[in-house]
Amino acid sequence: MAGADQPHVLVVDDDDRLRDLLTRYLGENGFSVSAACNALEARSSLAGLQFDLIVLDVLMPGEKGVDLARDLRENGSRVPILLLTALTETEDRIAGLEAGVDDYLAKPFEPRELVLRIEAILRRYGELPDVEETPSSDDTDSNVTFGQYSFDTARMILQRGDEHIYLTTAEQALLSALVKRTGQTTSREDLQAMMGGNAVDGTTSRSIDVQVTRLRRKFEDDPKQPRYLQTVRGRGYVLYTD
């Protein structure tokens, strides 16, 4: 039986073989795992159990994975979501990012890579300890501000006063990358590399554009005329702080 301190992962995939493989592999690597073969079963599990992360397939009979992810976000769920896609499902990957998923992994993939992706997401959400976590002299001055908002670069938390603004892990990584280059124009390709880089099939630029659009909605008064996160036409993006 899984220990109470093990992160609880929900695997949602209609492929019986893959679902069983992932359930077994994640269980052998320190996770408590529940499984569902479609969105309906996933909703039933989510209604009765608490999960630390969802591994969600894009294409399933009935409700698609992207639609489930979007509905969860629109109804206030903050559980991290890792989307499983096929190499040819470019539009679904983009739609997933727009829906608020935290990361995606293209099939076929090595199960070990899935574990590493899950661990990285959970660390950002504070569910796992950071690797080689040591105090830094910079921690006392880790906040950057833009307008009424502040971003804690050490804890990856965006706040407006006492209000905690929800960010996906991709949004956290992008904002952190922009903060590191405050006042400097950074290309989409460089931003993707600074975020850890998981783009395939030339989707890098568009993926970054999606995340920038989502970030602007979080802290710009007018996302269509941004004051802080600005586009430099033909070159990339730049973040200005106070």
Domain assignment present for residue 62? The answer is yes
Residues 144, 120 share a domain: no
Domain assignment present for residue 71? The answer is yes
Predicted confidence at residue 203, as pLDDT, reads 44
Domain assignment present for residue 111? The answer is yes
Residues 109, 149 share a domain: no
List the chain pLDDT tens, one digit each, 242 residues: 345 578 999 999 999 999 999 999 999 999 999 999 999 999 999 999 999 999 999 989 999 999 999 999 999 898 999 999 886 667 777 888 888 898 888 888 999 999 999 998 888 776 555 444 444 444 445 789 988 999 998 888 899 988 888 888 788 889 999 999 999 999 988 888 888 654 433 445 678 888 899 899 999 999 999 999 999 998 999 999 88
Of 72, 93, 124, the one marking the end of a domain is 124
Q: Give the CATH number, domain containing residue 59.
A: 3.40.50.2300
Predicted confidence at residue 132, as pLDDT, reads 47
The pTM for the full model equals 0.69
Predicted confidence at residue 162, as pLDDT, reads 86
Q: Give the CATH number, domain containing residue 207.
A: 1.10.10.10
Of 94, 124, 154, the one marking the end of a domain is 124
Of 69, 91, 124, the one marking the end of a domain is 124
Residues 54, 159 share a domain: no
Residues 145, 116 share a domain: no
Residues 234, 209 share a domain: yes
Predicted confidence at residue 193, as pLDDT, reads 83
Residues 225, 157 share a domain: yes
Residues 100, 42 share a domain: yes
Domain assignment present for residue 132? The answer is no
Question: pLDDT tens digits for 45-89?
Answer: 999 999 999 999 998 999 999 999 999 999 989 899 999 988 666
* Radius of gyration, CA atoms only, the chain: 18
Residues 111, 161 share a domain: no
Predicted confidence at residue 200, as pLDDT, reads 37
Predicted confidence at residue 127, as pLDDT, reads 59
Residues 117, 20 share a domain: yes
Residues 147, 118 share a domain: no
Residues 150, 120 share a domain: no
Predicted confidence at residue 52, as pLDDT, reads 94
Domain assignment present for residue 3? The answer is no
Domain assignment present for residue 176? The answer is yes
Domain assignment present for residue 1? The answer is no
Domain assignment present for residue 167? The answer is yes
Count of structural domains, the chain = 2
Residues 16, 101 share a domain: yes
Owning domain of residue 216: 140-239
